[in-house]
Structure 1
Amino acid sequence: MEEILSLRIYQTLVGIIGILGNGLVCVVIWKTPAMQNRTNAFIFHQAVIDFLGSTMILLKSEVPVPNPIPDNALGVFLCHVWYTFILFFFFVLSSFNLLILTMERYFAIVHPFKYQVMFSSWPHLKVGLAMAMCWVCAIAIKSYLLFIYDEQDGVCAPVVRSQFLGILTLVLQYVLPVTVMLFAYIRISVEMKRGAARVGPTSVAEHSASGSNVPSMAESLLKARRNTFKMLLIVFITFLVCWTPNQVLFFAYNIGFYVDFEHWLFLLSVAMVATNSCVNPLIYGLKYRQFRKGLREMVCGRRNIRDEFGTMSSNVP
């Protein structure tokens, strides 16, 4: 019982920190014109999702539910929606938005010409469609949770267990996104090293000829991309740390091992997934220079602060 109480307190803190942190990210991006570009649009969407997820974490931790579960419409909602679907829906939605955010950076850096063609027409509509795809995919993947649980003697218990469905869900919500993002980060890293090699000798020659220490446009762009890449890489690693224990237990359950969903170990793994909803704002504050500039601008009332790309344009990839 002490372990369960500790986990409940932890989830409450995670919910509060996630609400405050992600709310702050939304306000900073919304109020700072220099941050209103495509990459930050997906970061804003990520913060909105994690804000909603953190709200659900706090509600599930603090709002009491009937025990035993009533045999009525409230019981149906609690068993089919409240206990499992809604929280993991936001968790999976957050991971898919991270995947889309990663792929946006991948195409901008590794395939810049395709990226420009992709967003040459109706850019806002395409960004909106990408975000909508995240919601559709998350609903499609987690909708099975609405049907495999039912009320039995006042307890919400699984009534259907499909090994195929469980493994398919694991692949779609964890293995596939992780594999694609890992590939993208490797390719981005290689491309940025090539970019640094191209910029380096040219910049040295230009600075020697002009006698100036002011970085060139190419250097500023490379520096900004490197900062964003490092920040997103930390977000990805944090995602792996938070999600892996829960997905390992989920895999073990689906291949036939006994997993007690009320045991503190499984509940801790869920708490770690929940932590992923509150940790990203801390990463932005520590590693994302553009976010820190936007926060200073909003708090201190500064105007015309240049963005990370060294220009006042908000749409430079």
Structure 2
Amino acid sequence: MGNIFVVSLSVADLVVAVYPYPLILSAIFHNGWTMGNVHCQISGFLMGLSVIGSIFNITAIAINRYCYICHSLQYDKLFNLKNTCCYLCLTWILTVVAIVPNFFVGSLQYDPRIYSCTFSQTVSTSYTITVVVVHFVVPLSIVTFCYLRIWVLVIQVKHRVRQDCKQKLRAADIRNFLTMFVVFVLFAVCWGPLNFIGLAVSINPSKVQPHIPEWLFVLSYFMAYFNSCLNAVIYGLLNQNFRKEYKRILLTLRTPRLLFIDVSKGGTEGMKSKPSPAVTNNNQAEIHL
């Protein structure tokens, strides 16, 4: 069930590529915003939807992995299909609720330094502090707690610190955990500088803002933007299943007829036999670390 949140995270990453990024490219080519205020507000909203949706989905993934590894006996009850769908809906509802106040504060504005309509850190001091705390500090604190607890359990099982521990960790579980841990670390690294700058500016705008170099501000923003295309790379590097699918997609793009061959082959094999769940990747032999 945890894969649902991974798919949701991928959707959040794709949102910026569908609408905001093309408009940013247009602004770069025209050396200014030419699309009007309505498109500016929509672009800023979708940008926020992607950013906040990403961090909230990363938080949901961390909680899911924590329950799966550290509370395995209760996991099936906590994350059955119905509950998981409810958690997913709640994640996106909270994301939308977190963005809506921007329209009342008027914080979605065009910034010529980065050629995009985005959250302005200087509109409201109290609101900027709230955004940084609620959208960055609190989620990352929850994720850090979950992953620290998982690391502690992994170390205990590996070194047999707990003699009475009957916990078994499969290689696939460890790989999935490491993949999402890297995703979390990269998100924190890419978005950390921008949030720290925003927090510093909001505390004392008149004194701090003039001392922040424009290149540092622009660099922090483009680091944050770059994060959206990193997750797919991480999945490909650390997950064998993703690598196989990437190769299949590339081969299909080179020779489209392979797609029809795979589809027909899959349908024929599916009619002949039904695969046993015992041979799936997630149910391979357990290992003691």
TM-score, structure 1 normalization? 0.66
The one-letter code sitting in structure 2 at the alignment partner of 1:39 is G
Aligned 1:122-271 pairs, distance under 5 A = 123-149=80-106, 161-197=123-159, 221-257=169-205, 258-259=208-209, 263-271=214-222
1:63 is paired with a residue whose SS is helix
1:109 is paired with a residue whose SS is helix
- Cross-structure match for 1:81: 42
How far is 1:104 from its partner? 0.4
How far is 1:174 from its partner? 0.4
What is the alpha-carbon distance in structure 1 between the residues aligned to residue 59 and residue 107 of structure 2? 32
How far is 1:92 from its partner? 1.1
- Cross-structure match for 1:274: 225
The one-letter code sitting in structure 1 at the alignment partner of 2:38 is F
CA contact (8 A) 1:96 1:134 kept: yes
How far is 1:158 from its partner? 6.5
- Cross-structure match for 1:118: 78
1:161 is paired with a residue whose SS is coil
Match among 13, 16, 34 for residue 53 of structure 1: 16
TM-score, structure 2 normalization? 0.72
Cα distance per residue 1:117-161 (max 9 Å; x no partner): 213xxx333222222222222222222222333899xx9996983
- Cross-structure match for 2:55: 95
Runs of 4+ in 1 over 4 A off after TM superposition: 64-70, 155-160, 293-305
Cα distance per residue 1:149-183 (max 9 Å; x no partner): 3899xx99969833222211111110001111111
CA contact (8 A) 1:150 1:158 kept: yes
Identity of aligned residues (%): 25
CA contact (8 A) 2:57 2:91 kept: yes
- Cross-structure match for 1:307: 281
- Cross-structure match for 2:236: 285
What is the alpha-carbon distance in structure 2 between the residues aligned to residue 178 and residue 151 of structure 1? 24
Residues 93, 262 of structure 1: CA spacing in aligned structure 2 closer, same or farther, 3 A cutoff? farther
2:283 is paired with a residue whose SS is coil
What is the alpha-carbon distance in structure 1 between the residues aligned to residue 237 and residue 123 of structure 2? 43
Aligned-residue CA RMSD (Å): 3.8
How far is 1:55 from its partner? 2.7
CA contact (8 A) 2:2 2:61 kept: yes
The one-letter code sitting in structure 1 at the alignment partner of 2:233 is L
Query: How many residues align structurally?
Result: 249
What is the alpha-carbon distance in structure 2 between the residues aligned to residue 45 and residue 150 of structure 1? 26
Aligned 1:28-43 pairs, distance under 5 A = 38-43=1-6
Cα distance per residue 1:249-273 (max 9 Å; x no partner): 1101211234379934322212111
What is the alpha-carbon distance in structure 1 between the residues aligned to residue 50 and residue 201 of structure 2? 22
How far is 1:291 from its partner? 2.7
CA contact (8 A) 1:75 1:151 kept: no
Residues 294, 40 of structure 1: CA spacing in aligned structure 2 closer, same or farther, 3 A cutoff? farther
Structure 2 gap ranges (5+):
252-257, 270-274
What is the alpha-carbon distance in structure 2 between the residues aligned to residue 111 and residue 124 of structure 1? 18
How far is 1:198 from its partner? 5.4
Structure 1 gap ranges (5+):
1-37, 202-217, 312-317
How far is 1:69 from its partner? 7.2
- Cross-structure match for 2:254: none
What is the alpha-carbon distance in structure 2 between the residues aligned to residue 150 and residue 223 of structure 1? 46
How far is 1:115 from its partner? 1.3
